[in-house]
Structure formats: structure tokens, C-alpha cells
Homo-oligomer: A and B are copies of this chain.
């Protein structure tokens, strides 16, 4: 298997992408070839710092870098020789099976969509993330692509996320929910209500609505929403959790007794940080495109990059995209059949 890594993407590039790639090769012998795409001189210098060379690594030079603050469309249009764009080209040309980047999210999504196109049966791709809860880990999709999706888009997201949960997280029969403003069936807006109707016609394990209140209550393993709400939910959860931690730390430093208490209980804090560590999850996945594309977060450590590469190999090995195409056909047929099986509306009554 061949992986392309955008060596210049992220806040700590090329250091962390290069270090993460080297770590990934140490622990993963399924990778036969790893492209580090970026400024040749800088990537080489980083590589030398990582010890003896691994023959599976190949540096592919790219002269430009898409910065985190660049406008995605402008960047994709004008930076033709960017590390990100060149890395995606490798997938497009069949030279690599997957791309991993910690760079500009919008540019990665735009560029991957333009260069790789969508999978058969997918109208719009979407970005899926994993969120850890005390008793399960759930997939939240879409958190970044489709701000105003149609119900059919959300059904496709449900199929893709459900397969993600099954194949990568090994959930046998993931519970699929639509994010809404209350758990009752009738609560929601036009989009969620219509999506509800469609999902009921599929063989997915659809359990209905979920709202923000129940996110972490082990009720759903797959939560589907539009990118505006998904982004809002993801970031709100992250900042609320972070603020509680930070606040507690401040309060713990206020007197020696509390500080001692914090010291004695530090195992508890570490256990949570470990389970909630975003670096463990490898990053967000752009689902629905013709290729495997992993977005590691901007501040990725080498460990985060390593895990993003591991995630990429799991998608490739599991022939994830081939399975999506099959499943989508199947679900499409189910919806078609239900629709055609409904009794025609009588015009005589």
C-alpha cells in the first residue's frame, strides 16, 4: 500500500508530518511506499534528523505551501504546485492509495473533490469525525463540507458513517441518529424531518432523533447533520470540555491543599486526557470521494500524524470505498421500492 503525506501541512510542518510518517513506517509494515510531498531541502533536512533512512520513503518536491489562512478556492486556483495539491495528484494518478494532510481543511476538501471527484452514488462528500464518550465512540458527520445539504445527502452520510463505525471501530450494528433539537420524532426542521422519512425506509439501524443533551449518553453511534450544525456541535463540545479542564486547573492552583489533592488525583485526569486525546483518533475523514483522504488536525503531533496514517491504511485495506458504492446502491434500491410500493393517492375520495 502506498501513502502520500503532505509534508508541509499543519502548524508544525515539516517537522511533525515527517516525524509522524517515520513513526508510522516503524509500526506499520503494510505500507510499501510513503511519499513525503513538499519542499525537498526542508523535508530532507527533517528526515536526516529522524535517524537512518527508510527505503520506503520517497520525497516528491512541491514548491508551494497552502497556508492555514489562505482562502481555499484562491489557494487551489493559484498555488498549482502546492504540497497538498501534489499529494492529491499522486492519488489521482494511482501512484498512492491515500493522502494524509494536517493543512488547511477547506483547501484539502476543495482540492480533493476537484481532483478526485465523488464516488459513484455520492452527490456530495462530507467530513466525518470520531467523538469519544464514556461508553462509546460515535461518528459525527458532516462537520465541514455541505452547509445546506438535501435529505438525500444526509442519507448518503448515514450509509458512509455507518460503514465507518462498522469497519473501522468494529461496531456490529451501529445505531444511526439524525441530530435535531429534541428526541421526539416530530421535532426538527424540514431537512431533519424529511431525512427521517427516508432513513426509515432503509435497512440501517436508524433510531430516530438525538439532541445535544444526549450526545454522550451512549444512545447513538452515528450522528448525521449538516456541516453548519456539525461544525457547531463539534467545536462547542471541544471548547466546553476544554474550558472545564482549564477552569478546574485554575481552581486547583488556588491553595496548597487543593494542589496536593490535584497531585494525588492526577491519574484520574490523565486517564481522561488519554481517552479524549484527539491525537488518538487520527483525524477527520473526507468520505464520498474517489480516494482515501484523511485530515489530521492543524496542531498535529507526530503521534497524531502516525495515527492518521494508520487510519488511512485501515480505509484502504478494508476496501472501504468499494463497500460504500455497494451499500449505497442497496439503500437506494430500498428507498425506491418503498416509494413505488406506497398506495397511489386516490383522487376520488
Q: Choose among A190, A244, A251, A262 the residue with the greatest number of B CB atoms under 10 Å from its CB.
A: A244
**Does A53 count as interface, using CB distance less than 8 angstroms?**
no
Task: Determine how close the nearest CB of chain B comes to the CB of A232; give it in whole angstroms.
Answer: 5
Binding stretch for chain B, among A24-32, A211-219, A314-322, A331-339: A211-219
Contacts of A211 in B (CB 8 A): 231-232, 235
**Identical chains in the assembly:** 2
B231 touches A243 (CB 8 A): no
In the complex, A93 Cα to B133 Cα: how many Å?
Answer: 50
**Does A258 count as interface, using CB distance less than 8 angstroms?**
yes
Question: Contact partner of A134 among B243, B255, B269, CB < 8 A?
Answer: B243
Contacts of A251 in B (CB 8 A): 267-269, 271-272
In the complex, A114 Cα to B196 Cα: how many Å?
Answer: 30
**Does A1 count as interface, using CB distance less than 8 angstroms?**
no
In the complex, A247 Cα to B147 Cα: how many Å?
Answer: 33
In the complex, A174 Cα to B199 Cα: how many Å?
Answer: 44
Contacts of A247 in B (CB 8 A): 134, 272
Contacts of A45 in B (CB 8 A): none
Q: Quick one: given A212-B238, A233-B232, are A258 and B268 in contact (CB under 8 Å)?
A: yes
Q: Hey, what's the 0/1 contact readout for A200-215 against B, CB within 8 Å counting as 1?
A: 0000000000011111
Q: Choose among A147, A212, A227 the residue with the greatest number of B CB atoms under 10 Å from its CB.
A: A212
Q: For residues 168 through 218 of chain A, which have their beta carbon under 8 Å from a beta carbon of chain B?
A: 179, 181, 186, 189-190, 211-217
Q: Quick one: given A264-B264, A265-B252, are A243 and B212 in contact (CB under 8 Å)?
A: no
B236 touches A215 (CB 8 A): yes
Contacts of A254 in B (CB 8 A): 267-268, 271
Task: Determine how close the nearest CB of chain B comes to the CB of A47; give it in whole angstroms.
Answer: 33
Q: Hey, what's the 0/1 contact readout for A256-290 against B, CB within 8 Å counting as 1?
A: 01101111111111011000000000000000000
Question: Contact partner of A229 among B229, B250, B271, CB < 8 A?
Answer: B229
**Does A71 count as interface, using CB distance less than 8 angstroms?**
yes
A258 touches B265 (CB 8 A): yes
Q: Quick one: given A134-B243, A235-B211, are A147 and B262 in contact (CB under 8 Å)?
A: no
Residue of B whose beta carbon sits closest to that of A233: B236
Task: Determine how close the nearest CB of chain B comes to the CB of A21; give it in whole angstroms.
Answer: 28
In the complex, A264 Cα to B264 Cα: how many Å?
Answer: 9
In the complex, A239 Cα to B232 Cα: how many Å?
Answer: 14
**Does A341 count as interface, using CB distance less than 8 angstroms?**
no
Contacts of A56 in B (CB 8 A): none
Task: Determine how close the nearest CB of chain B comes to the CB of A267; give it in whole angstroms.
Answer: 6
In the complex, A268 Cα to B264 Cα: how many Å?
Answer: 14
**Does A345 count as interface, using CB distance less than 8 angstroms?**
no
B250 touches A258 (CB 8 A): no
**5 pairs of residues in contact across A and B, judged by CB atoms under 8 Å:** A134-B246, A148-B190, A181-B228, A240-B240, A260-B264
